Amino acid sequence: MRRRIIGGVELDFERCYRAVDSRDQRFDGWFYTGVTSTGIYCRPSCPAVTPKRRNVRFFPSSAAAQRAGLRACRRCRPDASPGSPQWDVRADVVGRAMRLIADGVVDRDGVPGLAARLGYTERHLHRMLRAELGAGPLSLARAQRAQTARTLIETTGLGLAEIAFAAGFGSVRQFNDTVRAVYGAAPSQLRAGKDAAVGGAGTVTLRLAYRPPLHAAALLDFFARRTLPGVDEVVDGAYRRGLRLPHGPGEATLTPAVGHVAATLRLTDLRDLAPAVARCRRLFDLDADPVAVDDTLADDPALAASVAAEPGVRVPRAVDGFEIAVRAIATQQVSLASARTTLRHLLREAHGEPGNGTLSGFPTAEEVLEVPDSGFRMPAGRRETIRAVARAVAAGEIDLEPGGDRAETVRRLTEIPGIGAWTAGYVAMRTLGDPDTFLPTDLAVRRGAAASGLTDDPRTLDEYAARWRPWRSYAVIRLWRSA
């Protein structure tokens, strides 16, 4: 069996080549196929004729393929494929770095800012990323800027100079050179024949790819039961929510469709396109590998019927970590309906009455700290727990962003009076993307377990759930639906 080492990453050549030969879309985003005879790189499912073995190289990232001098295939659009699921699953430094790069940290703060967020030197971080992905942080960020630029070129009527700076390039010349290198065409050629999107200069429409299957109804049902005025809503099969982005507020409308999720993003500043896309992808868990998850869970007879009936159930994630922490605390020992009533009152105190159809997102930690005691409508202990989390987040002592250290964040959360294993686990699952969190004391989990023929004793159930590793968070969602 032939193997190749790309940037220190071992890719099984035979397995990768079989995926390419069968055009298996499940591998899109896991690796990229470089064709030396044509000078292009593709996603594994590219419909073009399968290249000869001697002309093929495999790369762990699009940035690595670009560093090798290859340009993106215009037919299969490898830059628009789903992201590798391992960057959501992994809790190590490389996984955290990839989530932060996707959120635009390098474009905003440079490599020094990324390294500081992760607690490593720039040199060591560069070495780790090169070893895993065949490219350093600058190359990875450059690949993302190129994709952002292409999206803006094809979906907006902005001038090319405006697009260059909105996509994060330092100059128009750098923008032109990068687009030519990555796509083999000038920006004006990419725009030729494209219709500008309607809805205003700050509106971008695009398709968010995913690995099928996707149980969209489960996602929409989950969010519909938890919507808050002025924050989010489910209307006509679409989920709308306000976004707090680095350069200003925004709004996303996500509509599941066959093979993709249609996204309409309204942005105050188009420099926020990349972080908005990254957050929407996380929100719907679009980079997951549902086949791997379902195969593991279906091995257990207790969940086999659920998997067969509803393949592709995802973990509903978050665009605002602090929001999820507040929601979790407000839900402690009360029903979901009661928690929503409490949170609505808190929102009115922080933001006033919601505007007509306007979604502004959840209050910041600083805004919540300004709310008087009367605005909480909950027991004093719970109110002080929320304030303690708000102070820690505002001071930078707890990191609830996508690049946060999961173990460290859970540890710091549980040090706050009023936060136990359930609350910290819920935050880790939805905010930090932990795929293997289990909530054995959760009442709905216990009811779902009983409905599935399992024990509802928390200790016994926790031991039983070990067979669902490393996908226990997905088992939690299925048990909630069974309940």
pLDDT tens-digit series, residues 205-259 = 999 999 999 999 999 999 999 999 999 999 999 999 999 999 999 999 999 999 8
Query: Can you give the length of the chain in residues?
Result: 483
Mean pLDDT over 311-336 rounds to: 96
107 is known as an active-site residue:
no
Which pLDDT band holds residue 199 (cuts at 50, 70, 90)?
A: low
Kindly list the structural domains of the chain, giving each domain's residue range(s) and its CATH number in brackets, ordered by start.
3-80 (3.40.10.10), 86-191 (1.10.10.60), 321-482 (1.10.340.30)
Categorise residue 255: left if φ over 0, alpha if ψ from -120 to 50, beta otherwise.
beta
Alpha helices, DSSP H only, in 185-335?
187-191, 216-224, 273-283, 290-298, 301-309, 321-330
pLDDT at 358: 82
Residue 34 to residue 56: CA distance in whole angstroms: 6
12: CB partners within 8 A, 6+ apart: 1, 3
| Reported pTM | 0.90
Type of residue numbered 17:
Y
Q: What pairs with residue 174 in β-bridges?
A: none
- Is pLDDT at 1 greater than 90 in this prediction? no
- Is pLDDT at 7 greater than 50 in this prediction? no
- 103 HSE (CA, 13 A, CB side): 25
The CA-atom distances, in angstroms, between 321 and each of 227, 327, 350, 403 are: 16, 10, 18, 11
Q: What is the DSSP letter of 195?
A: P
Residue 263 to residue 162: CA distance in whole angstroms: 22
- Is pLDDT at 164 greater than 80 in this prediction? yes
Mean pLDDT over 446-455 rounds to: 96
CB of 284 closer than 8 Å to CB of 261: yes
Mean pLDDT over 26-46 rounds to: 93
Active-site residue (options: 232, 287, 434, 442): 442
pLDDT at 3: 43
Q: Which long-range contacts (CB under 8 A, 24 or more apart) does 318-321 make?
A: 318/282, 318/283, 318/430, 318/431, 319/241, 319/243, 319/244, 319/252, 319/279, 319/280, 319/282, 319/283, 320/244, 320/361, 320/362, 321/393, 321/400, 321/401, 321/404, 321/427, 321/431, 321/432
21 is known as an active-site residue:
no
CB of 44 closer than 8 Å to CB of 30: yes
pLDDT at 237: 96
CA nearest to 13, candidates 57, 50, 47: 57
pLDDT at 79: 86
Which pLDDT band holds residue 10 (cuts at 50, 70, 90)?
A: low
pLDDT at 84: 82
The CB density around residue 196, as the number of other CB atoms within 10 Å, is 12
The more confidently predicted of residues 73 and 91 is: 73
CA nearest to 296, candidates 315, 317, 311: 311
- Is pLDDT at 67 greater than 80 in this prediction? yes
- Is pLDDT at 24 greater than 90 in this prediction? no
Mean pLDDT over 297-306 rounds to: 97
Q: What is the rounded average pLDDT for all residues in the chain?
A: 92
Query: Is the bond preceding 435 in cis, omega lying within 30 degrees of 0?
Result: no
The secondary structure element, H or E, covering residue 238 is strand 238-245
Active-site residue (options: 42, 73, 76, 280): 42
pLDDT at 8: 37
CB of 71 closer than 8 Å to CB of 181: yes
The values of phi and psi at residue 434, to 5°, are -70, 115
Alpha helices, DSSP H only, in 358-482?
365-369, 380-394, 406-414, 421-430, 443-451, 458-464, 472-482
For 92-142, give the DSSP string: SHHHHHHHHHHTTHHHHHHHHHHHHHHTS-HHHHHHHHHHHHSS-HHHHHH
Cα maximum dimension of the chain: 71
Which pLDDT band holds residue 356 (cuts at 50, 70, 90)?
A: confident
Mean pLDDT over 112-137 rounds to: 94
The CA-atom distances, in angstroms, between 83 and each of 99, 207, 211, 243, 409 are: 10, 14, 10, 21, 24
Mean pLDDT over 327-335 rounds to: 94
* Model pLDDT for residues 248-287, shown as the tens digit of each residue: 999 999 999 998 999 999 999 999 999 999 999 999 999 9
Residue 38 to residue 59: CA distance in whole angstroms: 16
pLDDT at 298: 97
